[in-house]
Chain A
Amino acid sequence: AQSVTQPDARVTVSEGASLQLRCKYSYSATPYLFWYVQYPRQGLQMLLKYYSGDPVVQGVNGFEAEFSKSDSSFHLRKASVHWSDSAVYFCAVSPNTDKVVFGTGTRLQVSP
């Protein structure tokens, strides 16, 4: 069965600093990979997705993620974070376009 591991429960970075949130997946083939964000008191929103092709995918608000088959990873990056990026970020995997398995999430705190 597929699974997702987000090893960092909490990450704190200073505003303007770069960011990397880690995600490792377990699946026999190359699954569909997603990053979702959950802002306070809101539902989850999809940031970006990867199916195939260029391993670096661009998302909204300056986020990007890089797929690595050799490392079974799909880390999320941003060059310069803003205080409004403070939220919980979920990595997710799916063998198709329906059922999605989410990681436990990483809470990002951007300090001024």
Chain B
Amino acid sequence: NAGVIQTPRHKVTGKGQEATLWCEPISGHSAVFWYRQTIVQGLEFLTYFRNQAPIDDSGMPKERFSAQMPNQSHSTLKIQSTQPQDSAVYLCASSEQGSDEQYFGPGTRLTVL
């Protein structure tokens, strides 16, 4: 079991560029969660999927952020026209059906110059 895999581990983009972050949940897990972690805001919930369906995206900035889960083996978080304030560690987690424990990946550190 490789755990939750997130790629890339580090990404540097210029202001206005697009960034796509990938998450591969633990095999067999039915839920995938996305969080953003910064020093100032801490851990912020962004969105989550269960059985590939979007359930709650209340934490997503509406204009430039989008998330998808095209199949059970991966989810993507896309940020269009990145801004310096988007710089953060983006964490992905997955959980089994009926379980409350979320298993976190190591995160992707996004730096927007």
Residues of A within 8 A of B (CB): 32, 34, 41-46, 49, 90, 94, 97-105
C-alpha spacing A39/B47, complex, angstroms: 24
Q: How many angstroms from the CA of A54 to the CA of B42 in the assembled complex? A: 30
Contacts of B56 in A (CB 8 A): 98-99
Contact B45 A43 (CB under 8 A): no
B75 nearest CB across to chain A (Å): 15
In the bound complex, CA of A41 to CA of B23 (Å):
17
Write out the residue numbers on chain B whose beta carbons fall within 8 Å of the beta carbon of A104: 41-43
- State whether B31 touches A98 (Cβ < 8 A): yes
- The answer to whether residues A100 and B102 also contact, given A105-B42, A105-B43 and a CB cut-off of 8 A, is yes
Residues facing A in B31-60 (CB within 8 A) are 31, 33, 35, 41-43, 45, 48, 50, 55-56
Q: How far is the CA of A107 from the CA of B42 in the complex (A)?
A: 12
Q: Is B105 close to A, CB under 8 A?
A: yes
Q: Which residues of B contact A45 (CB under 8 A)?
A: 104
In the assembly, what is the distance between CA of A44 and CA of B42, in Å?
A: 13
State the B residues within 8 Å of A (CB): 3-4, 31, 33, 35, 41-43, 45, 48, 50, 55-56, 91, 93, 95, 98-107
Distance to closest chain A CB from B60 (angstroms)? 13
The contact of A42 among B31, B48, B106, by CB within 8 Å, is B106
When distances are taken between beta carbons in the complex, the residues of chain B under 8 Å from A34 are: 100
Q: Which of B55, B56, B100, B105 counts the most chain A CB atoms within 10 A?
A: B100
Residues of A within 8 A of B106 (CB): 41-43
A103→B37 CA distance, assembly (Å): 11
Which A residues are CB-close (under 8 A) to B50? 98
CA of A75 to CA of B3 in the docked complex: distance in angstroms? 29
Given A98-B55, A101-B45, CB of A44 within 8 Å of CB of B100: no
Hey, which chain B residues are within 8 Å of A41, CB to CB? 106
Inter-chain contact A43/B101, CB cutoff 8 Å: no
